[in-house]
Chains A and B, each alone.
Chain A
Amino acid sequence: MLAFLLTLGALLGVVIVLAYAERKVAAFMQDRMGPTEAGPQGSLQAVADVLKLLQKEDIIPAAADKKLFKLAPILIFAAVFAGFAVIPFAPALVPAGIGIGVFYLLAVVSLDVVGLLMAGWGSNNKYAMLGAMRSVAQIVSYEIPAGLAILSAVMICQSLDFQEISYQQGALMNQFPGMEYDMNWLFGIRELGINTTTIGGITTWNIFRAPILLVSFIIYFIASLAESNRAPFDIPEAESELVAGFHVEYSGFRFAVLFLAEYSMMVLVCLVAVILFLGSWNTPLPNIGPVSLAYWTSGTVGELSSILWGIFWLLSKTFVLLFLQLQLRWTYPRLRVDQLMHLCWKVLTPVALVVVLLAGIWRMLMI
């Protein structure tokens, strides 16, 4: 229960920051100023928006399917929020450390699609319906390259446990029960004979210890943009044609929940990308001879220092990815639906399949 409340609180905080950052970053990239009035530099704008939404009337269209309409935002947010349960925020700090975390996350986040369809169908609105259909088609399609990209990381790590994957990518690896004698090699190639187990830092991140995962990371990142309905894959919400997509009929608190779910999804996919490919909560600084930067910036496992360092590194990396998501949104135009499907089925999926094969071979080099 405590983990639930803490995660929810942290998530709300991150989403508020993100919603503010989105508007500021967008403004700066377009030579505008963004919010300036509420609080210093407009920093309370997102809070004010939320407070406004909470006060608004909860309008349910007369022709809507009321049960579906009411249930959908809750289901969408619950599906996304359930994904956070298996995210390790620091060594020895994970809300629910289950052995099949990756599998669970993929499965529970897919429930999101059901909620989207409920919202779109229940609204009894053509835009909502079209938006939901597009959204479902897109998310279901992009789960395949995303899943394959994750699979290649899982094959390299030989684990479905996020915490185990996290430990593998740093100098603290041997402190994880069951991996006391495991070793990391430079680029994951044992034949090179350079042992990076105690060097840690960036050299043991998944994209570095198995460089083939850099390709998976890019595939996953592209697919995750589509899964969270972010531009340039925002055809489900395409303002210019669908008004707002599946949430066009929502107002007040329910809209706030949908908004929260959308931004939580962004945070979640970035967290997963960081954990699977960018070294999770591990520091990027390696130990260099007597200068053990990695140990200094990791803390001691089980103590507060490691939790603070872990959260710091995890969130910093996540925010870098989130910034990239925002920048992509304000840089690239929206893909047409056929281009979207072309990218998914004819580009990302075959490449991801090849990467899965290569990841399997790479794993053979690592042991």
Chain B
Amino acid sequence: MGNLLEVNDLTIKFRTAKATSTAVRNVSFSLEAGETLCIVGESGSGKSITSLSLMGLLPENGEVSNGSIRLNGEELVGKTEEELRKIRGNEISMIFQEPMTALNPVFTVGYQIQEPLRIHKRMSKQEATVKSVELLKQVGIPNPKEKIHQYPHELSGGMRQRVMIAMALACEPSLLIADEPTTALDVTIQAQILDIMDDLKEEFGMGVVFVTHDMGVVAEIADRVMVMYAGDVIEVNDVQTLFEDPKHPYTKGLLGAVPNVDDETQEMKVIPGSMPSMEDDIPGCRFHPRCPMAMDICKEKKPALIDVGKENAAVRCWLQEVDTNADTTIAASGGFENVLSD
């Protein structure tokens, strides 16, 4: 059986007033049913744009300029708006970051959950009402029969995000895309939402693409992780290996920036510098200006994604080439300055 989602060589460009710039470069990944892939990166890494492109919901000035996106073997790039519309909310659903603004303030919760059911499953109003109550119960909302008559502003952030999940799962999609669904929520609610998503993923057998910058969330929910930096995939691995043995200096930096409450002597490590914008033309490896281990070759030639040992694991770093040859290891996050020391 083939993969649920197969993304190959995806390149996304944006037209701006001045020029065309590339937001996402030659991204390839795949996802099996029942698997959760986390796309990790800072703001501007291209992770959200990648996830929006799967839905065909890129902003108006953006377009997929190259590559393919296949869902169950069916090519999505090049489909008409109407063809994509029939897939959205039906086979692929999406949950967004801001539960406060992602729901329409003038319609009841019930109406908004019933909408995809009425559009894609052609349910009658009564059937959709029954189903929406059931969905709200599934995402753990108390008194669902009353809640369907309420408006979004009458619910808390966590409740609204549950409504978003119920809405996304209404048509039992095979692929769920979650764009930082827990970022705007406080930590206890975050954990509840992640639990619900995990349970429902099992129940529906969905594939989940989960976009986040929070390594704690990644550890909780991911099967595999794909790290992006400035439009490039720089490392892919299963979650366990990635956390135990990160290969790319950037991944090490991300992991080093996660505070550990148990370790009182720990000092926060930060990655110096900031993400380049997509207009910046950086020769060689796009991370080299911020990389503590940059070598001469990093400034000149862009490294390829190099397979590391097993299937679906790769890293885009010259050190890796050196590494495989010389068989030396680099201490995790060792190269970063301790900004908070002194």
Answer yes or no: do A and B interact: no
Give B residues with C-beta under 8 Å from A.
none
